[in-house]
A = this chain, B = another copy of it.
Amino acid sequence: MQKISNFKEFTEVTPDAVMAADTHGGRAKCLQRLVRLDLPVPLTVSLPFDTVGRIAAGHSPDTAALLAVFGALPLVSVRPSSQDQQWGGPGALLNVGMNARQHAHLRNTHGDQAADALYLRFIQAYAVDVARLDPDIFDDPEISSAAVARALVLFEEEAETPFPQDPAVQLAEVLRSMARAWDSTSARLLRQARGAPNGAGLGLVVQRMALGFGPGESGSGVMQFINPVTGAPRIHGRYLRQSMFRDALLAPEDALFLRSDPRGPALEDVANAAFAELTQAGAICRQRLREEMEIEFTLENGQLHVLDAVRAARSTRAGLSAAVALAKDRVISEQEAVLRVAPQALAEMLHPQVDHAASRDVIARGIAGSPGGATGRLVFSAAAAQTSAAQGEPCILIRRETMPEDIRGMHVAQGILTERGGMTSHAAVIARGLGLPCVVGATGLRLSTRKKTLGTADGRVLREGDLVTLDGTSGELLAGEAPMMEPALDDSFHALMGWADEARDIGVRANADTLAEAQTARAFAAEGIGLCRTEHMFFDDVRMGVMREMIFADKSGDRQRALDRLLPMQRNDFVDMFRAMEGLPVTIRLFDPPLHEFLPSDREGLREMAERLDLPLSEVTRRVEAMTEFNPMLGLRGVRLGVTLPEIYNMQARAIFEATVEVGKAAPKVVPEIMIPLVTARREVELVKTRIEAVAAAVQNETGAELDFRVGVMVETPRAALRAGEIAGHSAFLSFGTNDLTQMTYGLSRDDAGRFMGTYVSEGVYPEDPFHRLDQDGVGELLLLGAERGRRARPELTLSICGEHAGDPSAIAFCRAAGFDYVSCSPFRVPIARLAAAHLALDARELPRETFESDVP
């Protein structure tokens, strides 16, 4: 077998060595940087990806030559160095080079106990990780020469070969074992799941062992410089005397801490000079590597060795806080701080969360429909939720699915779980808007809303009133109360979002139907409301009754009388909205759902309605049945109602204009945007627009006020996208409702997709649930066609999306590339959208994306 020449096979890590993360791995590169910063790094040799790849394929490296670098009596560690440390790799192997000769030498220099311990550790690790022997054989706790002798005999018996005494042989075997482990199927799947490309390589670093055993102050530990939960500056860490490597982490009860730490004695006290050197090293790293690092160190008879430094683990909140602090200290730019926070990760900062560390008694699993955690008593109906709320009892609402009539219950519940539905089912959409945790499509439970019980897969039966915790982030329902972590929208958060807003070049509005949602939207600095669904305003008791009278009116005059009673209520809704938004644009979608959503479906509700309307039950039942639709999604709703029953839209237009006049007297001028839903043809827009203009003229006449308003179209049908050219001729704006557009492009109801979407995604039929991630190939083409045709007909046309996708960074990227003016998402996704948009703008500027990788090159 041909030997690879030495200078290719490995590189000594010196300030001038030619090394890069994509040839030698991230750990090797980082060690070189520490060397350049003059930190006391033990002598290190790096094996690049190429060499390790060849070793895995069968080549034998010249380990003797490699070990020659470490002198006559080498004692080294071997650690993995993949390109991205997130991708994992085989565990470190320490003390390579331990043999009888080294053992004898160490008994002299470090004493019997340390020498025996080191030899025993190596025999054990080699036996298990390299020779693949049974770990149980080597579990003798005794540390002595006799134990070493027994271990060597045991090894020979089990491995049927003597324990290798030649350090070159030991190292060759260790390298081969680690190279092969990297190629195993499980390791490959694991790193691919973490985003590694197919041919990701492994580097290895061989480093002189700094021994934490022996005379003087010897030991090992790790030190960090920020609080991993909050990101606040805080020096902390652990140190264990007479230990090596990361032993301190495994035995915290014996570890030394900071002086202020109540858990135990302090490193600061026992090794003050080393402590000072370490804090100094942390500061240098922060300044020069431009990141908060965790330093892994060993004290060898009082002398500090820095074995490694890695990016300190942290929560999203801590990461955001650290990035902002680095920017404020001018270590990194504000833009870089923005780029360092992943938009999606913000979600966990915006809501209370179930503590990750807490133990969990999971009783049901489903789709994580809306993030956050909440504890409350089980209720099985909107009415029970309202009763519970009236008694000041938090509750979790469980339904087979939710309907618009459940809205009141959803508003007062602390969390919602449904048995059916997917990411964009009614429950999930509403919950995200309200910022409530929600789990949908929950499987493995037997729900009886009649008996008010919830049976679990393991045979338990929960009843109304039982305490549960809903985790909308993980998609789980837990028994009992679980510990929570509260959201933290602190100064750092606001500073970062401010920088993000300076960077981004596409607008972000919120979908908000209620005053509370509008206020949340403002708190998250949405630049307006992109979608205000007016129908949700009709679900309180009084209005529902009047709505039903309106729906049952036989004559236009009766219908008008019911609508006249709704008018002042609607006007107040809009007054509240406009005031909350302080002059920012508010896009109001005219009434959209089928009228039968406002009618009861159960016998009791029908009887109640018959009484109220003073009609025979049979008549009410007959008419409710006659209004039932086979496919409500594809029925008499949206502009179809507007065209066939003009009184409803006329009332809404009047309410909008009267509110505009009222609010405009005091606050900044309001320019309402009126959006027509479910359009399929130009003529629908013409008809409705003409009527709206007539109402505007009447209100102007009555009030003497000048009205300024815009009428536009919600593009939800493929036809509206295809005919966007002629529709834009009558529209100031087009807003793509990608929920409905996805439904119609796929012929797939979001409420019914849950039953097979799992199979579809797992079989790779769809790469992702198209209701969750915008389908750029199909639905996206309609967006592009619609945008292009609309703008060609009317260059000043405002373009936006307002479906659930609007909060997703990939959809925002798509819309930005297509020249859209803004995206409109649920209020709690506004910060995520703002940050994602900033990332896109900064990426597009091709700023030198400086990370700690590139500063100490």
Tell me the residues in window 53-107 of chain A with beta carbons closer than 8 Å to chain B beta carbons: none
**Contact of A759 with B631 in the complex, beta carbons under 8 Å:** no
**Contact of B718 with A752 in the complex, beta carbons under 8 Å:** no
Distance (whole angstroms) from the CB of A240 to the closest CB of chain B: 54
Tell me the residues in window 753-776 of chain A with beta carbons closer than 8 Å to chain B beta carbons: 753, 755-756, 759-760, 763-766, 775
Q: Collect the chain B residues with CB atoms within 8 Å of residue A630's CB.
A: 632-633, 749, 751-752
Given A718-B745, A718-B778, A723-B778, do A766 and B681 touch, yes or no (CB 8 Å)?
Answer: yes
Q: Is A743 an interface residue (CB 8 A)?
A: yes
**Contact of A751 with B631 in the complex, beta carbons under 8 Å:** yes
Q: Is A716 an interface residue (CB 8 A)?
A: yes
Q: Collect the chain B residues with CB atoms within 8 Å of residue A745's CB.
A: 717-719, 722, 744
**Contact of A760 with B633 in the complex, beta carbons under 8 Å:** no
Encode A674-714 as 1/0 by CB contact (under 8 A) with B: 00001011011001000000000000000000000000000
Which B residue's beta carbon lies closest to that of A748? B634
Given A634-B748, A749-B634, A756-B644, do A763 and B716 touch, yes or no (CB 8 Å)?
Answer: no
**Contact of A747 with B717 in the complex, beta carbons under 8 Å:** yes
Q: Is A444 an interface residue (CB 8 A)?
A: no
Q: Is A131 an interface residue (CB 8 A)?
A: no
Which B residue's beta carbon lies closest to that of A718? B718
The complex places the Cα of A524 from the Cα of B588 at a distance, in Å, of 56
The complex places the Cα of A740 from the Cα of B745 at a distance, in Å, of 11
Encode A216-257 as 1/0 by CB contact (under 8 A) with B: 000000000000000000000000000000000000000000
**Contact of B764 with A746 in the complex, beta carbons under 8 Å:** no
Tell me the residues in window 507-550 of chain A with beta carbons closer than 8 Å to chain B beta carbons: none
Q: Collect the chain B residues with CB atoms within 8 Å of residue A607's CB.
A: none
Distance (whole angstroms) from the CB of A259 to the closest CB of chain B: 61
Q: Is A843 an interface residue (CB 8 A)?
A: no
The complex places the Cα of A751 from the Cα of B778 at a distance, in Å, of 26
The complex places the Cα of A756 from the Cα of B594 at a distance, in Å, of 12
**Contact of A747 with B643 in the complex, beta carbons under 8 Å:** no
Q: Collect the chain B residues with CB atoms within 8 Å of residue A634's CB.
A: 631, 633-634, 743, 747-749, 752
The complex places the Cα of A778 from the Cα of B683 at a distance, in Å, of 14
Q: Is A635 an interface residue (CB 8 A)?
A: yes
**Contact of A763 with B719 in the complex, beta carbons under 8 Å:** no
Encode A595-631 as 1/0 by CB contact (under 8 A) with B: 0000000000000000000000000000000000111
**Contact of A640 with B681 in the complex, beta carbons under 8 Å:** no
The complex places the Cα of A763 from the Cα of B744 at a distance, in Å, of 25
**Contact of B746 with A635 in the complex, beta carbons under 8 Å:** no
Given A687-B765, A755-B636, do A749 and B781 touch, yes or no (CB 8 Å)?
Answer: no
Which B residue's beta carbon lies closest to that of A756? B644
**Contact of B760 with A643 in the complex, beta carbons under 8 Å:** yes
Which B residue's beta carbon lies closest to that of A682? B765
Given A632-B631, A778-B718, do A684 and B765 touch, yes or no (CB 8 Å)?
Answer: yes
**Contact of B636 with A752 in the complex, beta carbons under 8 Å:** yes
Q: Collect the chain B residues with CB atoms within 8 Å of residue A644's CB.
A: 756, 759-760
Q: Is A801 an interface residue (CB 8 A)?
A: no
- Quick one: which of A633, A718, A746 has the most chain B CB within 10 A? A718
**Contact of B716 with A752 in the complex, beta carbons under 8 Å:** no
Interface residues on A, range: 35 or more
Distance (whole angstroms) from the CB of A297 to the closest CB of chain B: 52
Q: Collect the chain B residues with CB atoms within 8 Å of residue A743's CB.
A: 634, 747
Q: Collect the chain B residues with CB atoms within 8 Å of residue A779's CB.
A: 719
**Contact of A752 with B722 in the complex, beta carbons under 8 Å:** no
The complex places the Cα of A286 from the Cα of B716 at a distance, in Å, of 59
Distance (whole angstroms) from the CB of A354 to the closest CB of chain B: 29
Q: Collect the chain B residues with CB atoms within 8 Å of residue A749's CB.
A: 629-631, 633-635
The complex places the Cα of A281 from the Cα of B759 at a distance, in Å, of 79
**Contact of A747 with B687 in the complex, beta carbons under 8 Å:** no
Q: Is A782 an interface residue (CB 8 A)?
A: yes
Q: Collect the chain B residues with CB atoms within 8 Å of residue A763's CB.
A: 643, 683, 687
**Contact of A747 with B678 in the complex, beta carbons under 8 Å:** yes
Q: Collect the chain B residues with CB atoms within 8 Å of residue A756's CB.
A: 636, 640, 643-644
Given A756-B640, A778-B719, do A747 and B744 touch, yes or no (CB 8 Å)?
Answer: yes
The complex places the Cα of A740 from the Cα of B631 at a distance, in Å, of 13
Which residue of B631, B681, B723, B764 is within 8 Å of A683 (Cβ)? B764
Q: Is A777 an interface residue (CB 8 A)?
A: yes
The complex places the Cα of A717 from the Cα of B782 at a distance, in Å, of 13
Q: Collect the chain B residues with CB atoms within 8 Å of residue A629's CB.
A: 749, 751-752
Q: Collect the chain B residues with CB atoms within 8 Å of residue A722's CB.
A: 745, 777-778, 781-782
Tell me the residues in window 775-791 of chain A with beta carbons closer than 8 Å to chain B beta carbons: 775, 777-779, 781-782
Q: Collect the chain B residues with CB atoms within 8 Å of residue A748's CB.
A: 634-635, 680, 717
Q: Collect the chain B residues with CB atoms within 8 Å of residue A782's CB.
A: 718, 722
Distance (whole angstroms) from the CB of A662 to the closest CB of chain B: 33
Which B residue's beta carbon lies closest to that of A678? B747
Distance (whole angstroms) from the CB of A729 to the closest CB of chain B: 14
29 A-B residue pairings within 8 Å (CB atoms): A629-B749, A629-B751, A629-B752, A630-B751, A630-B752, A631-B752, A632-B752, A633-B747, A633-B749, A634-B634, A634-B743, A635-B752, A635-B755, A636-B752, A643-B756, A643-B759, A643-B763, A678-B747, A680-B746, A680-B748, A683-B765, A717-B745, A718-B747, A718-B778, A719-B775, A719-B778, A722-B782, A743-B747, A744-B747
Known A644-B756, A717-B745, A723-B778; further 16 A-B contacts with Cβ < 8 A:
A629-B749, A630-B752, A631-B631, A632-B752, A634-B634, A636-B755, A640-B760, A680-B746, A680-B747, A680-B748, A681-B766, A687-B763, A719-B747, A719-B779, A722-B777, A740-B747
Contacts from A to B (Cβ < 8 Å):
629-636, 640, 643-644, 678, 680-681, 683-684, 687, 716-719, 722-723, 740, 743-749, 751-753, 755-756, 759-760, 763-766, 775, 777-779, 781-782
Q: Can you list the 10 inter-chain pairs with the closest CB atoms, starting with the nearest?
A: A634-B749, A635-B752, A719-B778, A631-B749, A717-B747, A718-B718, A631-B631, A630-B751, A631-B633, A629-B752
